[in-house]
Amino acid sequence: MSQNNDTISSKIFEHKPYLRNYFKDWDTTHLWDIIPTKANGEYYVSYNGEALASKVAPDKQAERLLESHNIKETDVVILLGMGNPQLLTRINALLSPGQIFVMLGDDPALIPLLWEKILARVMSVPGRHIFAGDAFLGMGLNYLEALPIDRVSGLKVIKNTSDLSRTTFFSEIESRIQSVFSAKMSDLLTKFEFERLWVKNSIWNLLQVSKTPPYRFQISDLKDKLSGVSALLVSAGPSLRKSLPIIERIRDKVFVLSCDTSLKVLLKAGIIPDGVVTLDAQTNSFFHFMGEDLKQIPLFADLVSSPTLLRESMFQSVIHSVTAKFQVDAEGSLVREVTAGGELADSVFDQVGDIQSGGSVATTAFDMLRFMGFEEIYFVGQDLAYSGREIHSTGTHHNEKWLTLVNRKQSLERINEVIIRKRETKEVPSCNGKTVLTDYVLELYRHWFEESAKTVSMKLINLNEDGAKIEGFQNLLPENGIAPLLSKPNHNYPWHQFEAWKTIKGEKPRQKDRIKRASALHREIQNDLKFVEDGMKEWEMIDLDSVYLQETPLWIWLRNQTYLRRMVRKTEIYLLRHKDLNTNRKNTILIQSLKKEIHYLKRSIYPINDWFSTNG
């Protein structure tokens, strides 16, 4: 490299340190070559003597390929195959600095050859990344997973045909990338729909600490405290009813954690679990508990769970956690994203505890058990499929509701069948060696379990003969799977030493500090809302054509108040994606959105004000 290029490269490596790893001796280095054409400044790549782009006019070839792609400022651009260097140069020139451009190759040996002539200029622009070969593919997918989807409106995949016909490396990559972005877009739409509810619920649940019982605890107090103990996670799949005798036989050998949907099934069988998990922010979850005596069971509840359920005295203790995602970006930094409202948890609790979730109660419950340190986890009712063409086990709230619809013209089987036929279904391998019917959502959950199995050291045993096979788990017939447990001594409930279970026995924990902190949080939120309202009054005196409100002191302050900013996320993203709107229109949309969300939050938490009125 020239001295100038060395300086440029050093600056690039400072911002993108992972790139240094490409400059090693790779076994296939001698098979690659970068060859100049007769046209000045153009290059093509050859592999083992085979040209991967036009030898005469690679730039023209790149231009024609890009004519079929309408790339927008808010698109993420993925290039599959780097055999035409002119594609890299042209795409880079089309995109604005900061716009995401990811180049994927099948061999890291090509990168040093392209560096000085092509890549150093491309990679000096923010937003440009290269991931080449199996060694770097995982990092690339992690980077795409960690991308903030807020500013993205689409995904453009551009393919260098010669690379794709030369190797099978790219055959699955595109579908994996599409799946990542599909999941991220789905996650964003979920946030659009529920973030304001999550914020409201989190505030309610944190302020309700001052109203006891139930007494509130944090799951971090149980971190790694139950190592050496076995756990049983009970889900509400159709096979659950067949597993009830198995659960009774191992009840004194395992910590029994029930999903909310399976709780009624266990209680009807006379099995009282050691804990029950709920995740739903809506009040629908109340039906899984209604009519049951639950004072002997601690409730494990995400902070966004329905306050309607948590403010009832049916539970003596509630163990709170927050849902957080942890991802590694391209620079190797750990990125943490907590569910909206969760950022307020530390105002009342001391590091309440981060739990990862795949979107279902069972995935959250699984990570709770991992968090508490159990040495092995057994699963029952985790069908992740329509075993016997049923959706849930009999005895669940869902089945109870459907039984009221049964008549001589409509059977329970027909109700299940109608629901199944409305879903996008497919056959997958089952635990019994045959196949079973599942759908897109259940497949996402199964994939989450399989990916999680790769990251934990504990034994995972799926006691199921009907449901979907879960890779990374021991999928065993229930009778065979419990054999090692039966020879173990009874556990004698070691978790009863912790406060959440002591409370059930009548001991009152000390929570004065948390009650004071809840009161302080209430005052802080009231002050925040008043500050925003006063700031908006000042906005009313501003000429909306002369200033962009997102650059005013109020909005700059609002950016640091994460729980409030999340409530206007949808509007903020809309404005990012509609840059053609004039300043007046953007400001008007912003004001209307902020007024609406502040009114919603004030109205939602108004009943709480009475709790603190006596204290001023």
Each residue of 39-93: pLDDT tens digit?
A: 777 999 999 999 999 999 999 999 999 998 888 888 899 999 999 999 999 999 9
Average pLDDT, the chain: 87
Question: Is residue 172 assigned to a domain?
Answer: no
Q: CB–CB of 504/317 below 8 Å? A: yes
Domain shared by 497 and 524, yes or no? no
Domain shared by 345 and 327, yes or no? yes
Query: Is 448 exposed, middle or buried, given 0-12, 13-18 or 19+ CB atoms closer than 10 A?
Result: buried
Q: CB–CB of 332/17 below 8 Å? A: yes
Specify the DSSP class assigned to residue 55. S
Question: Is residue 178 assigned to a domain?
Answer: no
Which of 27, 36, 77, 31 shows the shortest CA–CA distance to 55?
Answer: 36
Q: CB–CB of 302/355 below 8 Å? A: yes
Domain shared by 282 and 386, yes or no? yes
pLDDT, greater one: 484 or 7: 484
Split into its structural domains, the chain has a count of: 3
The band of 616, judged by pLDDT with boundaries at 50, 70 and 90, is very low
Domain shared by 127 and 198, yes or no? no
Question: Is residue 261 assigned to a domain?
Answer: yes
Domain shared by 158 and 280, yes or no? no
Question: Is residue 173 assigned to a domain?
Answer: no
The band of 571, judged by pLDDT with boundaries at 50, 70 and 90, is confident
Per-residue buried b or exposed e for 182-217, using 16+ beta carbons within 10 Å of the residue's own CB: eebeeebeebeebbbbbbbbbbbbbbbbbebbbbbb
Domain shared by 328 and 412, yes or no? yes
Domain shared by 412 and 526, yes or no? no
Question: Is residue 46 assigned to a domain?
Answer: yes
Question: Is residue 479 assigned to a domain?
Answer: yes
Question: Is residue 486 assigned to a domain?
Answer: yes
Domain shared by 157 and 246, yes or no? no
Domain shared by 575 and 443, yes or no? no
Q: pLDDT (tens digit, 9 = 90+) per residue, 401-421?
A: 655 566 666 766 666 676 667
Domain shared by 142 and 277, yes or no? no
Domain shared by 204 and 128, yes or no? no
Across the range 96-112, mean pLDDT stands at 92
Note the pTM of the prediction, 2 decimals.
0.78
Domain shared by 324 and 438, yes or no? yes
For residue 604, give its domain range: 511-615
Last residue of a domain, one of 116, 147, 166: 166
Question: Is residue 176 assigned to a domain?
Answer: no
Select, from the ranges 247-261, 383-397, 581-595, the one with the highest average predicted confidence (pLDDT). 247-261
